[in-house]
Structure 1
Amino acid sequence: MELNNIKPASGAKHAKRRVGRGIGSGLGKTAGRGHKGQKSRAGGFHKVGFEGGQMPLQRRLPKRGFKSVALKFAAEVTLSDLQRIGAEEIDLLVLKAAGFVGELIKNVKVIKSGELSRKVVLKGIGATAGAKAAIEAAGGQVA
């Protein structure tokens, strides 16, 4: 094979549709653009969602919902997760090292799910009322 022998596969290339080239082509006169109007003219187009001056749908509908960016950097840890960690003093760095929360997490809260049978001391970590009671019942504390 040589460079002068290479050609595309059969059917891969086809002639471009030539518009505005006479009545026999099927796309003569208006060239498939219909009659008159902004869309029939050269350069005549408008932005997505434009409704000819009528108030667009995305502005007619009421605004709803909100996603807090702070939630992206928050995480939950269960009592059973705390049970599995070997350390007695638990803070954010210990949780990250153990792999229970991601590296970008800034806020952690302990929720009451599972059992805790050993003493743990939480530093800089929040806890729900039920989780706090369970930690204190096991001899630990939430600082």
Structure 2
Amino acid sequence: MHDFNLHAPEGANKRKRIVGRGQGSGRGTTAGRGNKGQKSRSGGKTYVGFEGGQMPLYRRLAQRGFSNYPFKKVYEIVNLGEIQNRFNDGETVSNVSLFEKGLVKKAALIKVLSDGEFTKKLNFKVDAVSAAAKEKIEKAGGTVVVSAKK
């Protein structure tokens, strides 16, 4: 046996089921669709939410007002205690630097909260900061620049 002799594990590759090729094949006549009815016919599909001709729920309910859900802003939260452990004095804390240090999963909108001890002098350039966090940062000698548009 060689290292380069690769093959798929047993049962990984299945044969395509061929239907509608005569009685002797075992999958002839109805070709696995059962007997009669809408789903047995060609083109006999229904759409999502179809209720057999009854007025579907999504059309029976009134559509009023406006939802801001598609436009909402989702902030990733970072606590000052975590920042204290990962950053050195004088560094700039921004969306990109937080992403590079592994504190956030993506460099999107970020809000800094005040949980944990904080003593380092850091410069913050983030989207949002809580009032308590801003107070702790300025008390330690750091600066805060909020860049998000509300």
Q: TM-score, normalised by structure 2?
A: 0.56
Q: Structure 1: which amino acid aligns with 2:57?
A: L
> Residue 46 of structure 2 corresponds to which residue in structure 1?
47
Q: How does 1:15-94 map to 2 (within 5 A)?
A: 15-16=26-27, 18=29, 32-33=35-36, 39=38, 42-43=41-42, 45-48=44-47, 49-61=49-61, 66=69, 68=71, 70-71=73-74, 74-84=75-85, 85-88=87-90, 89-94=92-97
Decide whether aligned partners of structure 1 residues 57 and 90 sit closer, same or farther in structure 2, where only a CA change above 3 A counts.
same
The structure whose residues are more often helix, as a share, is 1
Structure-2 change in CA distance of 1:62 and 1:77 (3 Å): farther
Identical-pair percentage? 31
Residue 20 of structure 2 aligns with which residue?
none
- Larger of the two Rg values belongs to structure: 1
Root mean square deviation of aligned Cα: 3.3
| CA drift at 1:69 | 6.6
Segments of 5+ residues of structure 1 without an aligned counterpart are 1-13, 20-30
CA separation of 1:83/1:33 partners in 2, compared to 1, >3 Å: closer, same or farther? same
Q: How many residues align?
A: 112
Aligned partner of residue 47 in structure 1, secondary structure: coil
Confirm whether residue 111 of structure 1 aligns to residue 113 of structure 2. yes
Provide the secondary structure at the position in 2 that maps to 1:130: helix
Question: CA contact under 8 A between 2:118 and 2:140: conserved in structure 1?
Answer: yes
Query: Is the partner of 1:131 in helix, strand or coil?
Result: helix
SS in structure 2 opposite 1:109?
strand
* Letter paired with 1:57: L
TM-score by length of structure 1 reads: 0.58
Which one of the candidate residues 96, 101, 114 is aligned to 1:98?
101
